[in-house]
Structure 1
Amino acid sequence: MIPWEIHRNGVFPIDISGLDFPVRPFCLIICTWLFLFAGCAPDPVETDLLVPVKFAAVPAGLTRTQFYTRHIEVRVKGRPGKIRQVEALDLTYLVDLYADLTSDPVDVTAFIPPAFYAIPVIKKRLPLPPGVDIIHVKPAYIKVELDRKETRRLPVKVMITGEPAVGYEVAHIKSEPATMALTGPASLFDKITEIQTKPVDITGADADLKKTGSLDIDALAGADVNSLVTVMVAIQEKIVTHTYGGIPVGIRNGPDTVQVTPPEMQIMLRGAANVFKDKDNAGYFEVFIDLKDLPPGVYVRPAVINVPVGVMLVSAKPENFTVTIK
């Protein structure tokens, strides 16, 4: 086989008699490589990339509200190996507000007023390797709302969930600190007057609680604030009142032939709820009239009412009884 050289006026044989290396094996290697790698190269593929959006150089005195584009979807095309390289990259799309919203990108003193902006996506800001092409980007515009930055001190409100143990209740709740400085967009302070914590669980508590609580950052629309507080929940026994009626009035230190009018009374007691678990149990107290050293006759006497420690007598009806000793 004689190699041929292509000229403008035709094809002519090339004289290789003076070459020192074997031409036929060399040509065979080249042809084999072209067949295996060039002729069998994989077709390009397409894939979607979710690229986070970051903002640089927010103008002084301004801040982002919660209304802004957080990701863009980029569809790219390239050989499978190139696509794998791209997927391994930590891609971000950087929005430079001074470059995108002013005529002089290096003038950080340029005035940018509070407003809602739609900034076109610039494809060349995506650092893709050679051989990877961008087909399209969604959305085509980055939306961001800029508002005046303000700092205010607001009270912290502790939110709770669950119920204390039976017979107990929440006496009071407080946080440390009681107020916190909150920095955020001015529009945020038109909506909130306090900073709430995430719910603190007090289920089954029968003693005071002290916990570390987290602020509900999601409700603060991205405002800048320390996210942790100390929560203190005071738990006390629940105090209730209970009325007992139809209580027989007993006699002490008197004969069996004694008549008490009326023979029953009604009392109201106040104390811890757990004391009155069995509301119909009158064994918690005793009611009687002491007739010691009284001769036969008719007397007006009050009843003696003994109640357990920690229980207070609120009222008793009637206050006095007619006692007839025969």
Structure 2
Amino acid sequence: MTAEERHNRRYLPRFTLGLGLVALTALVLLAFILVPRLRMEEHTLVSPIEVTGVPKGYIVARQSHTRAKIRVVGLPADLAHIELLRLQVDLPDQPALDGSYPVTPHLEGAPPMEVLEVNPPEVHIRLAKSVKRDIPVQVRIEGKPAPGFRLGKVTVTPSLALASGPSEVLEGVKAIRTTIVSVSDATAPLSIKVPAENADEDLLTLCPELFTVRVQVEEIHATRRLPGIPITTGTDEPRRIAVTPETVNIEVTGPARLVEKLKAGTGISAVIDTRELKAGIYVRRAAITLPEGVDLINASPELFTVTIPDS
């Protein structure tokens, strides 16, 4: 055996052991790198876009996109807090009134994750001066009251709303309309608080946000003439008494639902009380009784001749 062979035999085990340790270390490092990568997951979410840096006295009048789709990759535990990821458009110190700006992901407070894509990557923004103006409020009424009732006066408080928003939007607004107030089958006055209907993509801010609407619902009144109502002397009068004329014609008024149903002998009576009268001839008025809610306009004739015979 030569000297070289003896040298190789002596140092070969050491070299092999060293090479094995290096390989093992490399495998461990590779595992630390690849195993988490193998556990990585990709998520997609839609997030609102926040615009920052709007100059004082201005407002965002138009924004091409208010939300963006974002694809991220990260560990499952980190992706559980994906809602902490925010999307922003950071305007420069002196932004153009009309321009496009990149959408930037902000990971402040969020666990580490990699952003793969933001779609759309930029948004178009138009700025306008912010102004305030009082605008009349209009009430939207829908439906009809119950039969026999009609719509009366409608009021809204306040009658003016202080609106603030882009000048180009406010210029075209002539009135602020409330949401629908239904009066379907109503039989009594209504008082309700309602908001304004959504308009102009919520670009306007209103003060107040709620308006008090009062709606008068009135009964429809009718007038009716009822002829030939019999004159009686009451059930407690045993004597045979003559009344001339024997009937009275009356004119009444009241809610149409009541007046239209009136009939002689049904809630209507014309009575001359003769219980305290002795035999003789008298001129008396008849007491006319009507259903509650119905009023007498006139009666013809007003006076009657009452003849009470001797017993």
TM-score range, shorter chain: 0.5 to 0.7
Change (3 A) 1:32 1:188: closer
Partner of 2:229: 248
Change (3 A) 1:120 1:207: same
Change (3 A) 1:39 1:63: closer
Partner of 2:294: 311
User: How far apart in 1 are the matches of 2:82 and 2:249?
Assistant: 86
User: How far apart in 1 are the matches of 2:64 and 2:176?
Assistant: 23
Partner AA of 1:126 in structure 2:
P
Partner of 2:54: 58
Partner of 1:143: 124
Partner of 1:269: 253
Partner AA of 1:250 in structure 2:
I
Q: Residues 22-80 of structure 1: CA distance to partner in whole angstroms, max 9, x if unpaired?
A: 8477446425525745566518654423232111232344322365421111234x4x4
Contact kept, 8 Å, 1:184 with 1:223, in 2: the verdict is yes
Unmatched 5+ residue regions in structure 1?
1-11, 100-105
Query: Which stretch of the first structure deviates more once superposed, 87-96 or 165-174?
Result: 165-174
Partner of 1:179: 160
Contact kept, 8 Å, 1:217 with 1:227, in 2: the verdict is no
1:126 equivalent to 2:105? Answer yes
Unmatched 5+ residue regions in structure 2?
1-7
Q: What are the within-5 Å matches in structure 2 for residues 1-326 of structure 1?
A: 23=18, 26-27=21-22, 29-30=24-25, 32-33=27-28, 36-37=31-32, 41-42=37-38, 46-65=42-61, 68-76=64-72, 78=73, 80-81=74-75, 84-85=78-79, 88=82, 90-97=84-91, 99=92, 106-107=93-94, 112-113=96-97, 117=98, 119-121=100-102, 125-127=104-106, 132-135=114-117, 137-157=118-138, 174-198=155-179, 213-216=193-196, 218-219=198-199, 221-229=202-210, 231=212, 233=214, 238=219, 240-241=221-222, 243=224, 245-252=226-233, 260=245, 263=247, 265=249, 267-271=251-255, 279-280=262-263, 283-287=266-270, 294=281, 305-307=288-290, 311-314=294-297, 319-320=300-301
Q: Residues 108-147 of structure 1: CA distance to partner in whole angstroms, max 9, x if unpaired?
A: xx7x55xxx451425xx32468772534x32344133433
User: How far apart in 2 are the matches of 1:323 and 1:303?
Assistant: 8
Tell me the TM-score normalised to structure 2 length: 0.62
- The DSSP-based 3-state class of the residue aligned with 1:42 is helix
Q: Percent identity, please.
A: 19
Alpha-carbon RMSD: 5.2
- Return the offset for 1:85: 4.2
Partner of 2:5: none
Partner of 1:8: none
Partner AA of 1:186 in structure 2:
S
Change (3 A) 1:73 1:234: closer
Partner AA of 1:241 in structure 2:
A
Contact kept, 8 Å, 1:241 with 1:270, in 2: the verdict is yes
Tell me the TM-score normalised to structure 1 length: 0.59
User: How far apart in 1 are the matches of 2:220 and 2:230?
Assistant: 27
User: How far apart in 2 are the matches of 1:281 and 1:70?
Assistant: 72
Partner AA of 2:270 in structure 1:
V
User: How far apart in 2 are the matches of 1:70 and 1:58?
Assistant: 15
User: How far apart in 2 are the matches of 1:268 and 1:278?
Assistant: 12
Query: Which stretch of the first structure deviates more once superposed, 64-73 or 170-179?
Result: 170-179
Change (3 A) 1:17 1:309: closer
